[in-house]
Amino acid sequence: MSAEQASVPLLSLRGLTKVYGAGDTAFQALAGVDLDIEAGEFVAIMGPSGSGKSTAMNMLGLLDTPTAGEYLFKGVPVQGLGRDERALIRRQYLGFVFQGFHLLARTSALENVELPLVYRGMPSAQRRAQALQALADVGLTDWANRTPAELSGGQQQRVAIARAMVTQPQILLADEPTGNLDTQRGHEIMELIQRLNREQGITVLMVTHENDIAAYAQRTIRFVDGRIAKDGHVV
């Protein structure tokens, strides 16, 4: 890898704008955002309702497309990619964790974690071994055969994290990952995400409205009215 390639940010937004609707009903969710995310960072994205933080996360996760501006993924302009190519990036590089756990109710924790590997066409024995390792990484080896109804909220979120991590993504995008958990379970989940970042080098982008949760990150970005109002690293 050349020095020039090595210096390219993992993710870059340049003048990114997103407008929903048209005419009198148009709403500008993002208003010319410039942002670089380096590999291995743990970034908390904050801001009031309607500030643009969730829209920015959706852009970074390739779940939405900008109205104007540029998004570079590992130096490659995303706008030039087709739908299938964008989906391939999501499958190969990204893992998602949401406030709602989104687990299949009638299947075991192990089967829930295996699901992304099923979509990849991975052989049964290989995907089971990989899913078991992902559950071990989140401390749920003994709960592999339990259904979501037999798990606590914190355990369900751990399963959701294992499912996100089983494909060995480079980037974990977490949208209010502790929003449905009590304080103790929320901090347990954050300690887990922080450990994945530190020990495995996974880049973490997390939307939260809670300062104590954002404190786990190395960097906090605050959105106001579709723009970045503050961007600072923890000293």
**Per-residue pLDDT, 138:** 92
Give me the sign of the Cα torsion angle 13, 10, 77, 163. negative
| C-alpha span between 77 and 10 (Å, rounded) | 12
DSSP 3-state of 23: helix
- E-strand stretches of 78-176: 94-98, 171-175
Block means of pLDDT (10 residues each) for the chain, length 235 residues?
65 96 92 96 95 94 94 92 90 90 93 92 94 94 96 94 93 93 92 93 95 96 96 80
- The total of other beta-carbon atoms located within 10 Å of residue 191's CB is 11
pTM of the full structure = 0.89
**Per-residue pLDDT, 2:** 46
Above pLDDT 90, what percent of the chain? 85
| C-alpha span between 138 and 58 (Å, rounded) | 25
**Per-residue pLDDT, 98:** 87
**Per-residue pLDDT, 100:** 85
**Per-residue pLDDT, 13:** 96
- Domain-wise residue ranges, the chain: 3-233
**Per-residue pLDDT, 6:** 57
What is the CATH architecture assignment of 3-233?
Answer: 3-Layer(aba) Sandwich (3.40)
**Per-residue pLDDT, 235:** 57
CA diameter of the chain:
56
DSSP string, 39-88: TT-EEEEE-STTSSHHHHHHHHTTSS--SEEEEEETTEEGGGS-HHHHHH
**Per-residue pLDDT, 91:** 87
